[in-house]
Amino acid sequence: MSQEVENIQPSYPLFRNDEYKESLANKREAYEERHPQEKIDEVFQWTTTKEYQEVNFNREALTVNPAKACQPLGAVLCALGFEKTMPYVHGSQGCVAYFRTYFNRHFKEPVACVSDSMTEDAAVFGGQKNMMAGLENAKALYKPDIIAVSTTCMAEVIGDDLNAFINNAKKAGHVEQDFPTPYAHTPSFVGSHTTGWDNMFEGMLRYFTLNHMDDKKVGSNGKINLVPGFETYLGNFRVMHRMMKEMGVDYTLMSDPSEVLDTPADGTFRMYAGGTTQAEVKDSPNAIDTLLLQPWQLEKTKKFVQNIWHQPATAINIPMGLEWTDEFLMKISELTGKPIPASLELERGRLVDMMTDSHTWMHGKKFSLYGDADFVMGMTKFLLEMGAEPTDVLCNHANKRWAKAMDKMLKDSPYGQKTVVHVGKDLWHFRSLVFTNKPDFMIGNSYGKFIQRDTFYKGEEFEVPLIRIGFPIFDRHHLHRMTTLGYEGAIYMLTTLVNAVLEQLDKETKGMGTTDYNYDLIR
């Protein structure tokens, strides 16, 4: 059963060889207390019924695949967006290994992040010693300009005080008194990755601006601040840079990890690359306004901008699709006095042309989708613009105000009248919905592939294909470089969606002499 150097095979098709199939069958027979296949199939079929869905939706004490990650993950991504910043997690080493691995698998890039490796003794006596040694070692080894500290469950359960620990480490000389160490408490057992991003970003603003507001004046630098929130499509950072430059707008994109998460393979390792500078953060209270590109996940940031910086944080929707991109650019134009250039008008026209070309294939198609609050809202809006019909829309960590806003948006469209919004539900709930209210497609991250496989197991006619848009995307390559914001993002999303529809149509009409009708060379 050993591999041969001349013919190294991956697990598939290796495990399909007879010797491996025999070995796995023997293991199952000898060591697994497995129910008969007939019973497994009986239970499986029951879990696809309306009766089971009612039982499933009544559970309270269990979450099955919540369609979210924990707070420190978001804090790490936020910190990576600032120039020469080392994310530092006060907690166990295993937690940080998880965060790094999660991002490694999505971005296909090395991700810098350190831990002070709390173990059992720190859980009993507190982690101050770990903090002192960790800050000193991180600064000496990796030479960052900023160390951004967040926490995990262990540190939060025992009540470690980051402010006290960091100040004590500085007083003891482990790092200089003026060395930048912004921090945020990010307990993993509440909130989500978007909450953690918001907390860490507010911690950055607090550290660099809270006690330095005396000489600040709103509008004095003539800039617009753009806050992306938890954003994992690197093209979205780049499209914001491009649109602002084409408009001639002076701006600051606050937390931009697009360079450090997309470094070239040219023989040089870059632990730090790009990012928002300290000078830009310190100057940000002088901006005309701060626009939150994902407002439903940036509540803490919004309050800080309004209460401390005294900027309006003008309300906008995530700039996805046609109408909300229009609104975003018109708001930028209104705030800055800069006209929308002909180049962006041409880009908008191309999008409208594409929507016209493709609407006949998208019209009436049914989609179920899940993900983060702003992304799901923006995607739903775009589907409605195309005449598609969302069936079930799920966001685990959204709130009732978001659900109310979603319901209003859906009721305002003829294509959203039958859509049901689900808050606080997980992917096992979503699986039930896909079976009992079968859509044509699902939209979501890589975890949806297991739901697709379950639908296929019931029978090919029940299969619901997954369109991978969201985070994380582990099982496809390079989608994280794509764009979902602006006209460019709408063009990418439309291309992805309509070609998924056409791919499925080809799958359903490939039978020679049986289903290959309707002049299907041309769509």
Query: From first to last of its 523 residues, what are the pLDDT tens digits of the chain?
Result: 577 888 888 888 888 889 889 998 999 889 998 899 999 999 999 999 999 999 999 999 899 999 999 999 999 999 999 999 999 999 999 999 999 999 999 999 999 999 999 998 888 888 999 999 999 999 999 999 999 999 999 999 999 999 999 999 999 999 999 999 999 999 999 999 999 999 999 999 999 999 999 999 999 999 999 999 999 999 999 999 999 999 999 999 999 999 999 999 999 999 999 999 999 999 999 999 999 999 999 999 999 999 999 999 999 999 999 999 999 999 999 999 999 999 999 999 999 999 999 999 999 999 999 999 999 999 999 999 999 999 999 999 999 999 999 999 999 999 999 999 999 999 999 999 999 999 999 999 999 999 999 999 999 999 999 999 999 999 999 999 999 999 999 999 999 999 999 999 999 998 888 888 777 788 8
Residue 6 neighbours by CB distance under 10 Å: 5
Q: 252 φ, ψ to 5°?
A: -130, 120
Which pLDDT does position 513 carry in this prediction? Answer: 85
Phi-psi region of 171 (alpha: psi -120 to 50; beta: other; left: phi over 0): alpha
Residue 405's pLDDT is 98
- Tokens at residue 82, please? 């600032």
How many angstroms separate the Cα of 68 from the Cα of each of 30, 161, 282, 357, 412? 37, 26, 32, 35, 29
What is the chain's alpha carbon radius of gyration, rounded to the nearest angstrom? 25
Helix (H) or strand (E) run with residue 30 in it: helix 18-31
Q: Which residues pair with 466 in a beta bridge?
A: 442
pLDDT of res. 454: 98
Residue with tokens 């401390």, as numbered in its chain: 308
pLDDT for 9 equals: 87
Amino acid at 66: P
Specify the residue for token string 């910190």: 79
**Is the pTM of the predicted complex or chain greater than 0.85?**
yes
**CB-based contacts of 216, cutoff 8 Å, min separation 6:** 209, 285, 286, 309
On whether the CB atoms of residues 90 and 130 are closer than 8 A, the answer is yes
In this structure, what DSSP letter does residue 418 have? T
Phi and psi of 90, rounded to 5°? -85, 100
> Which letter, b or e, does each residue of 207-236 get, where b requires 16 or more Cβ atoms within 10 Å of its Cβ?
bbbeeeeeebeeeebebbbbbbbbbbbbbb
Q: At what angle do helices 449-458 and 427-436 cross, to 10 degrees?
A: 40
**Residues 19-28: contacts with CB within 8 Å, 24+ apart?**
none
The pLDDT of residue 1: 59
Q: Quick one: angle between helices 162-171 and 128-142, nearest 10?
A: 60
Peptide bond preceding 13 in cis form (omega within 30 of 0): yes
Which residues have a catalytic role annotated? 153, 157
